[in-house]
Structure 1
């Protein structure tokens, strides 16, 4: 076999330096198992494909803002039997992204809305989709801050263009008139072009009050709900229940 030191500059020039990680191993396997040249090349190329896929997955996950721990693997459906797991799993297949549909999670604090939204986001990332997860008010403050350095249009366009946008805590904080205009622009531009997931503590009927202009509110909500599915999640708070359990354990230990 050629010296790895001789192959390295060639692989680097071809942007295939990742192959060096498995080159020796694959060569040894090829000799031991008497692979054909094509078998050896296929295994080596597959290693490179998997390496690049893994790198892209890590990049998409970091860029998304999703909590690495908020996945379906860590969600306890048994805690709240009112949650329809089959329906959630169906959404997690990510067909709604192809159909350009929206998904809403509505209910009190602590019932798992954000966790479920992020878990779906993780599934989308794993399937190769770009995802952006942000709390609503801070996201629009970030967009508005772009006026200071000339990046406003770029920031707004990046939010509009992302295939899956997840608004967390929608309607929890009051938006300025400018931020309401930006929200309206985002919702209008994404209508029938990209999917949005929204979590909110506010009742669905209160959402129009996010906009102070009733005409803008009506137009925005009309587009938002046209292709959408809503999950109302009720029950005990995971966080409060966890706090109570810890307190009971501490009390029992005294």
Structure 2
């Protein structure tokens, strides 16, 4: 078999996964007896896996998730009131396909951001585009974009993301500009894309936080009308365990 010309051709055609597999399989005695069709199937399988891994890495890089959180590492035993049935349903991702929203609410330290990132990671695996941002930082970025004429372009890119994760909802007061940004973002996304928010504030206090009845009604209607609500409780999981006295 003309190894080098074959590798050169695979590389030139952009079939990197097949080229890597061809190199490893050529020296593998266990596959030497395979038929041509079986060899081809192995090479194609490696190419498909290589491309999928590359796409996933790109989606995760663009998502900018705060935590490297994966569904397999979720601790359902921690005493924080995590509804496993609901969260397993969210992990399946149908709510994203149906353009629904999600709110994760609870006191500090119970893992709201981590769980949101786990859902974001699973969405990336499912070939959805994802963007994570802290809401206070997003407002700062949009103010800067407004100042240098990039606001329309930035808002358009936010509207296109299939899952937008807004962390730390309610961490600071929402001023007039922030109210306008929120309404425009949620209006563009309502019924078209999914938005996930995490907050230490109970949902009942969100209307007061927005500090404008008209804007509050419009924003919360678009955010909560079709939102799955995950309400957590308990002590902070960041606190070190209390050791018994000797």
Q: TM-score, normalised by structure 1?
A: 0.87
- 8 Å CA contact retained: 1:8, 1:17: no
C-alpha displacement at 1:56, in angstroms? 1.0
User: What is the alpha-carbon distance in structure 2 between the residues aligned to residue 172 and residue 196 of structure 1?
Assistant: 18
Q: Who is 1:3 aligned against?
A: 3
Over 3 Å counting, the alpha-carbon distance change for 1:237 and 1:68 in structure 2 is closer
TM-aligned CA distance change 1:17 to 1:72, over 3 Å: closer
Q: Is the 8 A contact 1:102 1:227 kept in 2?
A: yes
Query: Is the Cα–Cα contact under 8 Å of residues 141 and 179 in structure 1 kept in the other structure?
Result: no
Determine the structure 2 residue equivalent to 1:43.
Answer: 42
- Number of the residue aligned with 2:144: 145
Please state if 1:160 is matched with 2:159.
Answer: yes
Secondary structure of the residue aligned to 1:100 is coil
Q: 1:132-164 CA distances to partner (integer Å, 9 max, x unpaired)?
A: 111111012112222344332221111111111
Shift of 1:29: 5.0
Q: How many Å separate the matches in 2 of 1:73 and 1:37?
A: 38
Structure 1 unmatched runs, 5+: none
Kindly tell me the number of residue pairs found equivalent between the two proteins.
Answer: 246
Tell whether the 8 Å contact from 1:77 to 1:83 is kept in structure 2 after alignment.
yes
After superposition, the Cα gap between the structure-2 partners of 1:43 and 1:30, relative to the gap in structure 1 and judged at 3 Å, is farther
Q: Which piece of structure 1 moves more, 78-87 or 115-124?
A: 78-87
**Greater Cα shift, 45-54 or 111-120:** 111-120
- TM-score of the superposition, structure 2-length normalised? 0.90
RMSD, aligned α-carbons: 2.2
Please identify which structure carries the higher helix content: 1
